[in-house]
C-alpha cells in the first residue's frame, strides 16, 4: 500500500463537490473543476461518489481522495460510513479514502477499527480520518489511520459551525500526531490556508471557496450589501 505522503505531496487539495441544487452540479462540471485545480497547481482532489470520481480520474492525473456520502436513517455518520461505501470510492478510481472517524454510531453497527483495517487489507489504499477534535484524531491514529483531517470540526454538535476554520485543532493535532494532519473545513481564503500550513498542517483542503462559484458570489454580494445597507 502506498504511504499517504508518497501518494499526496504537501500543498493544496481541492475538494470538487457540488450539491444537487447547485448550478454546477454534475460529474462533467466536477471533472473540469478538477482539471482546473490541476492547472492551478493543486496536489490532489477530494471527491464524492462513483460518478464524480470516475469522471475526475478520466480528466486529471492527480491523486484522488474519495469519499462516498451516504445517508442512513440509523446514523448521523454520512462520510463513507461503511466498508461498502469505501469500496465504491476505490472501485471508481480513488487512490485513498476519507472516512468519518468520530465515535458516533455507524450504520449496521460497523466499527471504526474494522473499517480502517479492511480498507487497508482489502482495498490496499491509505485512510484519511475525518475528525472533529483532538481525542478523535489521537484515537484514529492509534487505529492505524494514515492521515487525520479536521473536516468535521464544528459539525458534530447541534450548534451552527463558526464562520472560520478551526486552526486551533490543526495546531493541537500537529503537535500530538505522528501522521500527517490535513486542514479541512471552512478554509475560505489563501491566508487561512497559509495559516494552517504554518501551524503544522501537511496539506489543506479547500472546496466551496474554489469549486462552488455561487457560494463565492454570495460572499461578494453579502460584503457589498453590508456596505450599501
Among 2, 22, 76, 104, binds a second copy (CB under 8 A): 22
Q: Nearest approach, Cβ of 208 to a second copy (angstroms)?
A: 11
Among 1, 76, 87, 197, binds a second copy (CB under 8 A): 197
* Cβ proximity of 66 and 97 under 8 Å: yes
Collapsed DSSP state (helix, strand, coil) of residue 6: helix
Which range touches a second copy (CB under 8 A), out of 62-70, 100-108, 157-165, 206-214?
Answer: 206-214
| Pairing of β 44-48 and β 127-130 | unpaired
Q: What is the DSSP letter of 107?
A: G
Q: Is 93 in the site for a second copy (CB under 8 A)?
A: no
Instruction: Find the binding residues for a second copy in span 174-193 (CB under 8 A).
Output: 189-191, 193
Instruction: Find the binding residues for a second copy in span 29-88 (CB under 8 A).
Output: 29, 32-33, 35-42
Number of CB atoms found within 10 A of residue 171's CB: 19
**Nearest to a second copy of 4, 83 (CB atom):** 4
Q: Is 157 in the site for a second copy (CB under 8 A)?
A: no
Q: Nearest approach, Cβ of 203 to a second copy (angstroms)?
A: 9
Cell 500537529 sits on residue: 174
Binding mask 207-226 for a second copy (x = CB under 8 A): --xxxxxxxxxxxxxxxxxx
Q: Nearest approach, Cβ of 28 to a second copy (angstroms)?
A: 8
Q: How far apart are CA 195 and CA 163, in angstroms?
A: 16
Q: Which cell numbers in the block locate residue 106? A: 455507524
Q: Nearest approach, Cβ of 45 to a second copy (angstroms)?
A: 11
Q: Is 204 in the site for a second copy (CB under 8 A)?
A: yes
CA angle 212-183-157, nearest 5°?
80
Q: How far apart are CA 9 and CA 56, in angstroms?
A: 18
Collapsed DSSP state (helix, strand, coil) of residue 155: coil
Number of CB atoms found within 10 A of residue 84's CB: 13
Collapsed DSSP state (helix, strand, coil) of residue 9: coil
Q: Nearest approach, Cβ of 55 to a second copy (angstroms)?
A: 13
Which range touches a second copy (CB under 8 A), out of 28-36, 108-116, 145-153, 168-176?
Answer: 28-36
List the one residue out of 48, 47, 62 whose CA is nearest residue 7.
62
Kindly list the residues in this chain that would bind a second copy in the complex (CB under 8 A). Answer: 10-12, 14, 22-24, 29, 32-33, 35-42, 189-191, 193-195, 197-198, 204, 206, 209-228
Amino acid at each position: 500500500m502506498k504511504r499517504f505522503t508518497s501518494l499526496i505531496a504537501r500543498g493544496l487539495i481541492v475538494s470538487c463537490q457540488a450539491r444537487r441544487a447547485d448550478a454546477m452540479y454534475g460529474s462533467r462540471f466536477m471533472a473540469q473543476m478538477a482539471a482546473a485545480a490541476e492547472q492551478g497547481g493543486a496536489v490532489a482532489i477530494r471527491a464524492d461518489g462513483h460518478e464524480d470520481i470516475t469522471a475526475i480520474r478520466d480528466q486529471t492525473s492527480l491523486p484522488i481522495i474519495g469519499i462516498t456520502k451516504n445517508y442512513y436513517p440509523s446514523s448521523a455518520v454520512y462520510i463513507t460510513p461503511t466498508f461498502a461505501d469505501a469500496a465504491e470510492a476505490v472501485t471508481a478510481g480513488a487512490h485513498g479514502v476519507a472516512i468519518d472517524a468520530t465515535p458516533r454510531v455507524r450504520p449496521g453497527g460497523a466499527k471504526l477499527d474494522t473499517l480502517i483495517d479492511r480498507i487497508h487489507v482489502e482495498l490496499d489504499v491509505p485512510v484519511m480520518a475525518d475528525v472533529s477534535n483532538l481525542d478523535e484524531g489521537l484515537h484514529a491514529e492509534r487505529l492505524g489511520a494514515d492521515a487525520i483531517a479536521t473536516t468535521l470540526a464544528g459539525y458534530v454538535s447541534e450548534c451552527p459551525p463558526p464562520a472560520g476554520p478551526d486552526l486551533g485543532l490543526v495546531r493541537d493535532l500537529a503537535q500530538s500526531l505522528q501522521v500527517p494532519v490535513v486542514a479541512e473545513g471552512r478554509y475560505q481564503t489563501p491566508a487561512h490556508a497559509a495559516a494552517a500550513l504554518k501551524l503544522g498542517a501537511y496539506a489543506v483542503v479547500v472546496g466551496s471557496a474554489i469549486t462552488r462559484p455561487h457560494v463565492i458570489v454570495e460572499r461578494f454580494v453579502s460584503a457589498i450589501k453590508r456596505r450599501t445597507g
